[in-house]
């Protein structure tokens, strides 16, 4: 039956689960029927067992992860889940499987993606822990802050970190090709102007904190009880401010999707809900570094978006230029106190002069 699948990975998963699927879900006998579909990089499989069904997710090893051996990925996930109850409930258990033990297995989590919830202009859901609604972005801020407080050395995840200064050449290289500098405030026509807003010692910092590699609304599931689950938990070591910058820009992209067309004011509200909770739980270095890494990730997001949609390059560069313009205007308005202890409004809309 695996011959019916055009996607080679789907066919491989089908053949494997026909023989070994029962061992993954604690059943005595192999499934009577297996159906596999591909969603992104994952295979979703439905296995029938004598009138009952088990739905599972199979993923090949994530090529973008710094730790790519499946055994190491599962060990790292288990270590992080053991840190506290919140992480244990939000990160799914992982298991190594596959013909050469090169796949990652997890149970399928039924629910709506954060992208879908936000697209329907609702960032608050009923939560099983109480009768009041809970802000999903506030919950996510707590989860991500917990992850970002984990130093790699603490869990035996050792990768040499980069100094912040080494990221400047990339920003300078793509500043004029990813956005339109002529749309920016005059003093920011060249990216070098950002340096005056950065704290002393910024360039020499080498953060080595654990971070998600692909934190996006589409990779977060909200189940029927209102609990959050991060379903694509790739990890890396580095500056958590970069991960936060990419997540803020993934929310920006919700306003560019033909499916959503969310008002930019709504997007800014979502960003503030997440960032206010997150920044209250991490050290000041992260918020200070975000002064640089928010525009850095905006440039990188624009560059990748322009590459994927070259026929829309003019419109995309204009939109990203306007995002950058708003942020740089905020920098001009910000007081020394704000720059020393940045708050969510600095990155998510117009701030008052203070």
pLDDT-derived band at 130 (thresholds 50, 70, 90) equals very low
Give me the chain's average pLDDT, please: 87
pLDDT of residue 71: 84
pLDDT of residue 66: 52
* Nearest C-alpha neighbor of 73 from the set 86, 53, 91, 56: 91
Q: Contact 259/314 with Cβ under 8 angstroms?
A: no
Which residues are registered as beta bridge partners of 46? 35, 55
Q: Which long-range contacts (CB under 8 A, 24 or more apart) does 325-331 make?
A: 325/183, 325/184, 325/185, 326/350, 327/294, 327/295, 327/298, 328/184, 328/185, 328/188, 328/295, 329/185, 331/194, 331/197, 331/291
2-107 CATH fold = Phosphorylase Kinase; domain 1 (3.30.200)
pLDDT of residue 72: 82
For domain 112-348, the CATH class is alpha beta
On the CB side of 182, CA atoms within 13 Å amount to: 1
Beta strands in 61-126 (DSSP E): 95-97, 103-107, 112-113, 124-126
Q: How far apart are CA 238 and CA 228, in angstroms?
A: 24
For residue 81, give the H/E element and its range. helix 70-81
Say if residue 65's pLDDT is above 60: no
Query: Residue 161 carries which DSSP code?
Result: P
Largest separation between any pair of C-alpha atoms in the chain? 70
Q: Is the dihedral of CA 104, 301, 90, 279 positive or negative?
A: positive
Tokens representing 29 are 């006998």
Lowest mean pLDDT among 3-7, 194-198, 259-263, 275-279: 259-263
Say if residue 121's pLDDT is above 50: yes
pLDDT of residue 351: 59
Tell me the pLDDT tens digit for each residue of 292-323: 999 999 999 999 999 988 998 999 999 999 99
Q: How far apart are CA 236 and CA 232, in angstroms?
A: 13
Tokens representing 281 are 């739980």
Give SS3 for 116: helix
Among 7-11, 59-63, 170-174, 256-260, the range with the most confident prediction by mean pLDDT is: 170-174
pLDDT of residue 67: 53
Tokens representing 296 are 């850095």
Among 132-141, 249-258, 294-303, the range with the most confident prediction by mean pLDDT is: 294-303
Q: What is the DSSP string of 9-77?
A: HHHHHHHHHHHHHHHHTT-SS--SEEEEEEETTEEEEEEEETTEEEEEEEEE--TT-S--SHHHHHHHH
pTM attached to this predicted model = 0.89
Say if residue 222's pLDDT is above 90: yes
Give the Å distances, CA to CA, from 196 to 18, 187, 192, 265, 289. 61, 11, 8, 29, 13
pLDDT of residue 353: 42
pLDDT of residue 126: 59
pLDDT of residue 101: 85
Q: Where along the chain do its domains lie?
A: 2-107, 112-348
């Amino acid at each position: 039956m695996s011959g019916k699948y055009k996607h080679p990975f789907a066919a491989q998963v089908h053949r494997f689960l026909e023989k070994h699927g029962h061992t993954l879900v604690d059943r005595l006998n192999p499934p009577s029927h297996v159906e596999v579909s591909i969603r992104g990089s994952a295979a979703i499989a439905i296995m029938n067992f004598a009138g009952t069904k088990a739905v599972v997710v199979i993923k090949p090893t994530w090529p973008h992860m710094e730790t790519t051996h499946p055994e190491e990925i599962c060990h790292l996930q288990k270590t992080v889940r053991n840190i506290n109850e919140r992480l244990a409930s939000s990160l799914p258990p992982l298991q190594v499987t596959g013909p050469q033990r090169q796949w990652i297995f997890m149970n399928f989590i039924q629910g709506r993606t954060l992208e879908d919830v936000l697209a329907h202009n609702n960032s608050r859901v009923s939560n099983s822990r109480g009768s009041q609604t809970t802000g999903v972005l506030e919950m996510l801020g707590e989860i991500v802050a917990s992850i970002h407080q984990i130093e790699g050395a603490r869990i035996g995840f050792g990768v040499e970190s980069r100094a912040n200064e080494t990221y400047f050449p990339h920003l300078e290289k793509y500043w004029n090709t990813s956005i339109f500098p002529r749309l920016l405030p005059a003093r920011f026509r060249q990216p070098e102007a950002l340096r005056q807003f950065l704290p002393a010692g910024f360039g020499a910092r080498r953060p080595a904190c654990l971070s998600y590699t692909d934190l996006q609304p589409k990779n977060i599931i909200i189940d029927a009880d209102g609990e959050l689950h991060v379903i694509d938990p790739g990890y890396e070591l580095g500056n958590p401010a970069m991960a936060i910058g990419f997540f803020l820009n993934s929310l920006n992209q919700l306003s560019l999707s033909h499916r959503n067309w969310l008002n930019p004011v709504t997007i800014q509200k979502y960003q503030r809900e997440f960032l206010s909770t997150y920044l209250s739980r991490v050290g000041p270095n992260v918020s200070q570094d975000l002064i640089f890494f928010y525009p850095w990730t905006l440039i990188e997001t624009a560059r990748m978006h322009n590459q994927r949609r070259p026929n829309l390059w003019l419109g995309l560069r204009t939109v990203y230029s306007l995002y950058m313009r708003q942020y740089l205007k905020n920098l001009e308005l910000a007081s020394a106190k704000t720059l020393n202890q940045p708050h969510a409004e600095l990155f998510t809309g117009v701030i008052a002069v203070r």
